[in-house]
Amino acid sequence: MSYRGRAKEFLKSQNISIGDIISIKKDDTEYMGMLLDRAEDADELHIVLKMDSGYNVGIALTGSEVKLLEKGDKPEINLPLLEIKRDPEKMDVSIISTGGTVASIIDYKTGAVHPAFTADDLLRATPELLDEANISGKAIMNILSENMKPEFWVQSARAVADEITEGADGVVVAHGTDTMHYTAAALSFILETPVPIIVTGAQRSSDRPSSDAFINLMSSVAMAKSDIAEVTVCMHATENDNQAHIHRGTRVRKMHTSRRDTFNSINSPPLASVKDGRVKIIDKTFTPRKRGECQLDVNDSLEEKVGFIKSYPGIAAELLDYHIDNGYRGILMEGTGLGHCPDHLIPSLERAADEEIPVVMTSQCLYGRTNLNVYSTGRKILSSGVISVGDMLAETAYVKLVWALGQTNQLEEVKTIMQTNLKGEMDEKSSSKYFLRDYGE
Amino acid sequence: MDYEKLGLMMGLEIHQQLNTTKKLFCPCECELTDKKPDYHVLRYLRPTQSELGKIDRAAFEESRRELTFCYDAYPHHTCLVETDDEPPHPLNQEALEIGLIIATLLNMTVVDEFHTMRKQVIDGSNTGGFQRTGLLAIQGHIDTPYGKVVIENLGLEEDAARRMGQRKGKVEFRLDRLGIPLLEITTDPSMNRPEQVREVAYQIGQVLRSTRVKRGLGTIRQDLNISIREGARVEVKGVQDLDSMEQLVKNEVTRQLKLLEIMDELKKREAQVEDTIHDLGETLKDTESKIIAKALKKDGKVLAIKLNGYKGLIGKEVQPGRRFGTELAGYAKKMGVAGIFHTDELPAYGITSHEVELINGFLKIGENDAFILVADEGDKARNALEEVQRRAIMALDGVPEETRKALDDANTEYLRPLPTASRMYVETDIPTQVVSRELLEYVQANLPELPKEKEARIIKEYNLSEDLAHQLVRQDRTEQFEEIVAECGVEPTTVASLLAYTLKELRREGLDVEDLSDSLKGTFQLLKQGKISKDAVSDVLVGVLKENWTPEEAAGNLNLLMLSEENVRDIIVEIVSSNEKLITERKMGAMGSLMGMAMKELKGKADGKLVNKFLKEEIQKYL
């Protein structure tokens, strides 16, 4: 029970617990209903009652006379286990949950929302998935995506690899949306995969009938059955519930705090679209790896001590110095424009080079590529040893640096890795198509 | 009708839109728009999984009914909150405050902490799949000449999207109305006379009008809960017109009584509904009925069921112009068919008596038995007949609990079953809010004047007639009236009668009198300064509205400025001298005719008293 302090004491002294039917008299008014649990961050001066009408109300303890009418059980959710027969005609798709609520269960007696993580919960909420494939599900962790870190990327990658080893024809990773693109990039670099791996999630939680989870999951499973053996992100293509986009895991970014079509491919079109269960290639310039083309391989040694610094007017060199002095093994910079930072940072950049700490330069413009040859500052930054990575997204470059430093400790090798296209994360060519804006003019 | 004896019970539910500057959970304006939508958003809704959740495919299919929802949206008139692409903003405090005012005026107890809930609604009228609503106050009352009526609940909630139409499986809604704050006021079901319901609706309406609520068509919606002792609770949605309420109650009570009579007769006959759904395709393959032939031609089916012991009762009238058969058809239509054919109306609609004989033979129809026939696509026809069977079985128990829709002719029509246990759960995106006692005390200390109090005060303060005062209050013009009187110092009755009557007439002529604002004061100032006459006020306003003139310009251009006394006298001298003959004949008796002539010329430009005085003087000069 989440009641604290005074409320907790009070309820205890009256021998009242959650689920009990009680009456509260206050002046001339009498409230009757079931005692509900209270949010953990709420104050300790009120108790919550669910009235017959279905409404919840908070009632201040002060001046209240409480009477127990009927002892109740704290409602429990005991859903029967599912027995699902494997259909040999269908493909096998695994769904791995890392957190976020892929499914929720609403307890209509109390109105409480319970996040549900098990595969069964997921299938109860989305039985249509079974029409598409044999689904097996696993909840490997339960963390909000802002709390992700490199060691969890490794954990996720290994779980995906296990599913592939056990014969999955495709793997869907359910993930919170905030850092979904970091995880997608990490899986891209860690895994050589013979089957599709799709990261998906929901912008509107599954405790609402309008959740986007359903279409995202259905489209992800369709993609998991395809021949495109890449790590991708599958989310709504537009605000409409009828189409999803498949983005390369190394090219995608969360671009809106709340819209369901928040994920965009940057400096590249989406790889494909999914509509009515059909996958259609959009990016014809990219040759995706085909199913079964390579053997499963896991390169999961990472270097967690990598800094991420954004250049801004007024930035002090001590920010860089701090990372150098505190044992950071690599620094990712999000420069301004073509990949710049103020020239008073150059001595610190040179220090990093002396310490053999790679500094990788990307651009906070998001669209376009870095080019440090155009202005004198750029050339100075370049000659201080900074690694420019062209049109790679800063978040992808950060993940790649974490991975590259896990593969080698040779500065030159890190530079080669960072500047070589491994998983479609960079391209030499910029197309006018890759910059979207439409004001309806 | 002896309602008391019948055990009539009625409760009222009133939904009132508030006139706040912003919506309940986003900063959009609370105005509807007829502009063409700039874009559309396509959505589906799925019921959320409950604690009883199983893989119930049938339930899923049924609840989805494969409907696609298409929302009319605007880049600025609506925002991402309405399209469910942004979490709701914090609760609108202006709406909360209006709610507190109404709660206080209805003698209610305000809750200590307000919890926003989600009420699941998956018919598409809410983009999230739920309506946000919260309980603000409970247990109030109002006094009526028929006794005290308890106000059970006051809820603060958001209005739903506006339904614009439906084409096949696609329902179109407009987002402009979604999120406008609503107060939901429910009484207990203790009322047993239609006049009392009317009185309560009127009184609640008066209370609502004392503060910032929307006015006009569609801004207030009334539902009536109604039952008789032997009958069942029926919720009648959308009672627009209080004047027709009495007839509506009468018709609904009649319906329940007739259904009870039908039940008694069915029991007497030991009536029973057969399960089987028969295919009459072969029997009617050469039919002359266009409807049936058309269905068969399109690979549809003509199906029938047997209702043993129902003959003669299906055609029985339950409300003026509506039969028990209409009730059965109401259930069938929910499955998408256009209607049903039943024994009691055949032969008709191209179905010949010979065909009726054939059907009777095929179905082995006995003396008291009836059949129902539906022609449509196979699944649709079958679903429709299953619904008819279900409803026919209910008839054996009398009156079913239903939500019904009020029709223009004071009848009601089946809408859906009564909502069962309300599926409400917490809105996790809105923090709970303690209703501060300071705010509540402030509200209680600053209550608006109720319309009745306002009327009494202005009658006393300005010496207005009851009728004028009533009109000003009704038309919500009291504030404007008091302002003009205070600023322009014009005689109150003049101002009041212009606001109450003249403006109404101008509006009837198609002028937008709400555009006048400051010109009203300007015009009254001209009157005060003696530059125009009382009679000219209306014409000046017409000029202002039609030509976009200032009041001065209007008075000048329309030749309505008062003449100087000298000019007035000149005109009168002129009139008198050209009517010498008349004066010689009739002496002072010529006064009437001459006054008429003078006023014709001087109307609006000179004060009548002055004209009268000058005329008298000039006539006397000739005597």
pLDDT tens, residue by residue, B162-214 = 999 988 778 999 999 999 999 999 999 999 888 889 889 989 998 998 899 99
CATH of residue A192: 3.40.50.1170
pLDDT in tens, B403-456: 899 998 999 999 887 766 557 888 988 999 999 999 999 999 999 988 888 889
pLDDT at A126: 83
- Report whether A185 contacts A250 (CB < 8 A): yes
In a domain, A405, yes or no: yes
pLDDT at B548: 85
The half-sphere exposure of B551 on its side-chain side, counting CA atoms within 13 A, is: 20
Listed by number, the residues of chain B in 403-442 with a beta carbon closer than 8 Å to a beta carbon of chain A are 421-426, 428, 432, 434
- Report whether A313 contacts A335 (CB < 8 A): no
Question: Which sign, positive or negative, has the C-alpha torsion B182, B183, B189, B192?
Answer: negative
Number of C-beta neighbours around residue B21 at 10 A: 10
Residues A20 and A107 grouped into a single domain:
no
pLDDT at B58: 40
Distance CA B265, CA B310 (A): 9
Distance CA B499, CA B469 (A): 11
pLDDT at B377: 86
* Domain span at A414: 306-418
- Report whether A3 contacts A38 (CB < 8 A): yes
Residues A223 and A287 grouped into a single domain:
yes
Judged by a CB distance cut-off of 8 A, whether residue A121 touches chain B is: yes
pLDDT in tens, B108-129: 999 999 999 998 888 899 999 9
Question: Which sign, positive or negative, has the C-alpha torsion B251, B257, B261, B263?
Answer: positive
In a domain, A83, yes or no: no
The closest alpha carbon to A238, from B380, B73, B31, B409, belongs to B73
In a domain, A78, yes or no: no
Asked whether the bond before A288 is cis by omega within 30 degrees of 0, the reply is no
Question: What residue of B is the nearest CA neighbor of A108?
Answer: B423
CA distance B36 to chain A (A): 16
pLDDT in tens, A186-224: 999 999 999 999 999 999 988 888 999 999 999 999 999
When CB atoms are compared, the residue of B50, B119, B139 closest to A29 is B139
CATH of residue A326: 3.40.50.40
φ, ψ of residue B121 to 5 degrees: the values are -140, 110
pLDDT at B57: 43
Both structure tokens of A180: 């979904």
When CB atoms are compared, the residue of B53, B86, B133 closest to A124 is B53
Q: Say if residue B62's pLDDT is above 60.
A: no
Most A CBs within 10 Å, among B40, B49, B69, B81, to test the A interface: B49
What does the DSSP 8-state code read for residue B499? I
More confident residue, B485 or A324: A324
Look up residue A239 and give its amino acid. E
Q: Say if residue A438's pLDDT is above 70.
A: no
Question: What residue of B is the nearest CA neighbor of A260?
Answer: B85
Residues of B in contact with A53 (CB under 8 A): 135, 153, 422
Whether residue A105 and residue B114 make contact (CB cut-off 8 A), yes or no, is no
CA distance A396 to chain B (A): 26
Listed by number, the residues of chain B in 39-98 with a beta carbon closer than 8 Å to a beta carbon of chain A are 41-51, 53-55, 57, 60, 80, 83-87
| Average pLDDT of every residue of chain B | 88
Domains held by chain A: number? 3
Most confidently modeled range among A351-360, B521-530, B580-589: A351-360
φ, ψ of residue A220 to 5 degrees: the values are -65, -40
The β-bridge partners of A308 are A332
Residues A187 and A286 grouped into a single domain:
yes
Residues of A in contact with B155 (CB under 8 A): 55
Residues A100 and A144 grouped into a single domain:
yes
Q: How many CB pairs under 8 A join A and B?
A: 163
Residues of A in contact with B128 (CB under 8 A): 204, 208-210
Domains of chain B: 9-24+33-261 (no CATH), 270-399 (3.30.1360.30), 449-558 (no CATH), 565-621 (1.10.10)
Residues A271 and A371 grouped into a single domain:
no
Helix B565-577 crosses helix B608-622 at what angle (to 10 degrees)?
A: 40
Residues A323 and A271 grouped into a single domain:
no
ipTM metric: 0.91
What does the DSSP 8-state code read for residue A82? P
Residues A405 and A263 grouped into a single domain:
no
In a domain, A336, yes or no: yes
The helix (H) or strand (E) run that includes residue B245 is helix B245-268
Look up residue B466 and give its amino acid. E
Listed by number, the residues of chain B in 138-177 with a beta carbon closer than 8 Å to a beta carbon of chain A are 138-139, 153, 155
pLDDT at A103: 67
Q: Say if residue B253's pLDDT is above 90.
A: yes
Judged by a CB distance cut-off of 8 A, whether residue B119 touches chain A is: yes
Residues A144 and A291 grouped into a single domain:
yes
Residues of A in contact with B72 (CB under 8 A): none
In a domain, A423, yes or no: no
A111 pLDDT band, cuts 50/70/90, is low
- Report whether A216 contacts A259 (CB < 8 A): no
Whether residue A209 and residue B120 make contact (CB cut-off 8 A), yes or no, is yes
Whether residue B55 and residue A42 make contact (CB cut-off 8 A), yes or no, is no
Whether residue B153 and residue A53 make contact (CB cut-off 8 A), yes or no, is yes
Listed by number, the residues of chain B in 200-259 with a beta carbon closer than 8 Å to a beta carbon of chain A are none
- Report whether B138 contacts B108 (CB < 8 A): yes
CA distance A312 to chain B (A): 29
Residues A317 and A293 grouped into a single domain:
no
Query: So which residues of A are the catalytic ones?
Result: 101, 177-178, 254
Residues of A in contact with B115 (CB under 8 A): 48, 55-58
In a domain, A135, yes or no: yes
Whether residue B424 and residue A54 make contact (CB cut-off 8 A), yes or no, is yes
More confident residue, B323 or B62: B323
Distance CA B533, CA B482 (A): 21
Residues A347 and A230 grouped into a single domain:
no
pLDDT at A108: 64
Residues of B in contact with A82 (CB under 8 A): 55
pLDDT at B56: 41
- Report whether A202 contacts A211 (CB < 8 A): yes
In a domain, A60, yes or no: yes
Distance CA A57, CA A47 (A): 8
CATH of residue A13: 2.30.30.520
Q: Any idea how long chain A is?
A: 441
Residues A223 and A342 grouped into a single domain:
no
Q: Say if residue B599's pLDDT is above 70.
A: yes
Question: Which sign, positive or negative, has the C-alpha torsion A365, A366, A369, A373?
Answer: positive
Residues A58 and A193 grouped into a single domain:
no
| Average pLDDT of every residue of chain A | 91
Most confidently modeled range among B408-412, B475-479, B529-533: B408-412
Residues of B in contact with A210 (CB under 8 A): 43, 45, 84, 127-129
Question: What residue of A is the nearest CA neighbor of B156?
Answer: A55
In a domain, A125, yes or no: yes
Judged by a CB distance cut-off of 8 A, whether residue A61 touches chain B is: no
CA distance B225 to chain A (A): 15
Helix (H, G, I), strand (E, B) or coil at B24: coil
